[in-house]
A and B are shown apart, each in its own frame.
Chain A
Amino acid sequence: MVTYKFPQFNIEIQNPITSINMNTIGDKAVDKLLSVDIILTTESSSFGVKSEDMSYVDTWEDSDVVNMVNDWLKQFEV
């Protein structure tokens, strides 16, 4: 069971299913930073967040983005 608390939401998001929309990946190639839209879905609600400033070294693959998102989400775990 994982619980997230984001500053933009008043409530805690408990045990959501995480969906990454790969069509929304933004790549600041100069700074080597990625962003991507994420949907966190619980039984009753759906929450949209944007993971930003995820750094990479030289190149990235789709599978890397999944790992980056998982790491990025950790800072919001309660």
Chain B
Amino acid sequence: MSIRISIPSPNQLSCPQLNQSVGGLTFSQRQTLQAVGPTKSGQITSYRTGDDGDFEYGRGVSFTGLTCNNPFNNTNRFTDQSGGQTYSDNIIVDWLTGLMWYRITSSGGWSIAIDTSIGATTGGYTDWFLPNLPQLAGICNYSVSIMTNYAPFNIDITGTALWSSTSQPSATGNAILAQANNALVGVGKGNSRLYIYCRYFALSDMGL
């Protein structure tokens, strides 16, 4: 069965879209949507039975491979806006999460990272934002020693880290960031770290 849904930006279904009796989703379709789980961590090596590398839970056939074709008829999770792997504008489309990323890092404190992100007009888009923790974690690949240093991101954060927009609940003067040693930790918001920004894309952005 093919389901076509008009998805507003940000990429989230409204309650009427989910629930309306005419034109909405059936109960079965809603259950399927709610069962859509998180992405894979990328870990493919098992260190004991029952660990992440054993189960490899998460959507897709691998960290960078989709189960079904993307609209460009390939199974690459990440493509450029033409469906290829050139990334001449450094914009990455993530077909597993609906996020578009600008892979060039900038540096600054947490507030600068947020202000710069929401003010960015990269690629002609004006709805960029600093990723929250799950959004940032979704591109962290735990099969490589520096979790953001894999194609097409190729972001080497050795000796530094990437800001998320999420604050640390137990110390709200800190925000959570992704460190080079693959840890997600809280650091004072005034410290200068790297950041990248993202946005939710629409298919029409790419002429689809």
Listed in ascending order, the chain A residues whose CB lies under 8 Å from chain B are: 8-11, 39, 45-49
Known: A46-B44, A48-B45, A49-B47. 6 other contacts (CB 8 A): A8-B49, A9-B48, A9-B49, A39-B45, A47-B45, A47-B53
Let me know if A46 and B49 touch, CB within 8 A: no
Interface of B, helix, strand, loop or mixed by DSSP: loop
Number of A-B contacts (CB under 8 A): 23
Residues of B within 8 A of A47 (CB): 45-47, 53
Rounded to whole Å, the gap between the CB of A7 and the closest CB of chain B is 9
Contact with A along B43-58 (1 / 0, CB 8 A): 0111111000100000
A11 to B50: give the CA distance in the assembly, Å: 11
- Within 10-57 of B, Cβ neighbours of A (below 8 Å) are at 44-49, 53
Residues of A within 8 A of B48 (CB): 8-9
Shortest CB-to-CB span from B101 to chain A, Å, is: 28
Question: Which residue of chain B is the closest to A21 with respect to CB atoms?
Answer: B145
Query: Which residue on chain B has the smallest CB distance to residue A8?
Result: B48
Residues of B within 8 A of A8 (CB): 47-49
